Amino acid sequence: MASLIRCFTVLLCALGLVSAQALACTRVTYLGPEGRVLTGRSMDWKLPMISNLWVFPRGMEREGAAGPRSVRWTSKHGSMIFSGYDISTVDGMNEKGLVANLLWLADSEYPEDDGTTPRLSLSMWAQYFLDNFASVEEAVDHIRSNPIDLATGDVPDQPGKLTTVHLSLSDASGDSAILEWVDGKLEIHHSREYRVMTNEPRFEDQLAIRAYWKGVNGREFLPGTNRASDRFVRASHYIDAVRQSDDPRIAAASVFSVMRNASVPYGISMEDAPNLSTTRWRVVADHKDRRFYVESAVSPNVFWVELDQLDFSEGAGVMKLDLGLDMTAIHSGETSAAFVPATPFTFEPAQ
């Protein structure tokens, strides 16, 4: 009976009959010719948020902020990351071209403390992978052999509401993995085919939704609402339908066009859905050229950072590019020279 109910829920999502989620994001990976790989994501959130760009060098000592058995490590790779409220890493790319993206997943259920397994605050989950691994395969092999339990905390400015997210990884080879905590256990979906992720339902069910829509001609009809399941279908169709090019400018334009198609109109408000999220920013990471593009919903242009222009050497110091509340600061062109020295932010400890 449980399996029948689950299948019915998946079908309702595919048909767009499940109520819209208040929190939403979309992630896609573009596999172009000549090894041109890009990953794009949109950040959808219902409240104004602080998201700044940070540069973390190699050799940083880390502590997992999850109590006395917190995992400890020293960063092997430098990274440039997007912060969430300057208490968490929510997106970023390291100097080897590994990209990590955190997206909301209400179905996430993290494990109880078993008194033995090393622990890690959810705020550091993405940073752990960026610090330690050069490829998706390396990251997946490690985490399967060296389990780490996650611990969560409250959503910023929403006391009593726990953060629940899943994680995507992608690398310069085009490999991908989706990591989700379901019923207290880590599920890892690892395949070059897993190029699209949104929010609800869990990834296993998103694949079932995609299979359902494969029988529909995407040139004639695609689901058009802001629901996560509909965005998943549209992004899955368009990431292969857009122009495939090794030209970095054309490839980035293609990925941005998919991200904009899957975005939620800015400031959207509906009487029967007062908590709808709005797309606040979009980023596109070019794994091949180590270039990171940024677009704010309230700024008139795209800017980018060449990671090759950043100093990731051990002892180089932490750098920051202040983007302002809701990314209202205006930047244009290549902005690596605009970063300034900064004190590292403190990752949110787990409860």
Q: Which residues are catalytic?
A: 25
Cα–Cα distance between 305 and 336 in angstroms, integer? 5
In sequence order, which residues have a C-beta less than 8 Å from that of residue 229 and are 6 or more positions away? 13, 14, 16, 18, 198, 200, 201, 206, 209, 223
Other CB atoms within 10 Å distance of the CB of residue 343: 8
Measure CA of the first residue to CA of the last residue in the chain; give whole Å. Answer: 36
* Burial annotation 76-97 (CB, 10 A radius, 16+ → b, else e): bbbbbbbbbbbbbbbbbbbbbb
One-letter amino acid for residue 106 of the chain: A
The answer to whether 261 and 245 have CB atoms below 8 angstroms apart is no
Query: How far is it between the farthest Cα atoms of the chain?
Result: 59
Cα–Cα distance between 213 and 110 in angstroms, integer? 31
Please say whether the dihedral angle defined by the alpha carbons of residues 196, 197, 203 and 209, taken in this order, is positive or negative: negative
Tokens at 17, concatenated: 């009959």
Cα–Cα distance between 7 and 1 in angstroms, integer? 10
In sequence order, which residues have a C-beta less than 8 Å from that of residue 129 and are 6 or more positions away? 98, 100, 139, 167, 169
In sequence order, which residues have a C-beta less than 8 Å from that of residue 219 and are 6 or more positions away? none
